[in-house]
Amino acid sequence: MAGFMTRLFVLVLVSLLSQECLAATFTLANNCDYTVWPGVLSSAGDAALATMGFAVETGQSKSLDAPATWSGRFWGRNLCSTDSVGRFSCGTGDCGSSEVE
């Protein structure tokens, strides 16, 4: 019985550690000489990450934690601004949502 309990404990521990190891932290670093607004899009059926709309200034970075099951994509946008009525747009990589996120 003790052997079974030890194996069960090890199995549960390995399972928990495996789940933790499968999560990811994405670090988006801006090595450009201009501000970049990363675009973040979760795949269909996946929850959005904690933040999807932000600017990364030259020389800075931003980290995003993603659960083990997350899938999606990142892309860079630049030449971004907000017009007089609050619509956000970018010169490159714009997704047409009129919002930062």
Is pLDDT above 60 for 10?
A: no
- pTM of structure: 0.67
C-alpha distances (whole Å) from 101 to each of 5, 12, 16, 43, 51 are 48, 38, 33, 15, 8
C-alpha distances (whole Å) from 79 to each of 30, 63, 87, 90, 91 are 14, 22, 14, 5, 5
Least confident of 18-27, 31-40, 79-88: 18-27
Number of residues in the chain: 101
pLDDT digit string, tens, across residues 49-76: 777 678 899 999 999 888 888 888 888 8
- Of 5-14, 19-28, 69-78, the range with the highest mean pLDDT is 69-78
Least confident of 17-21, 29-33, 58-62, 91-95: 17-21
User: Is CATH 2.60.110.10 the right assignment for the domain spanning 24-101?
Assistant: yes
Of all residues in the chain, the percent with pLDDT exceeding 90 is 21
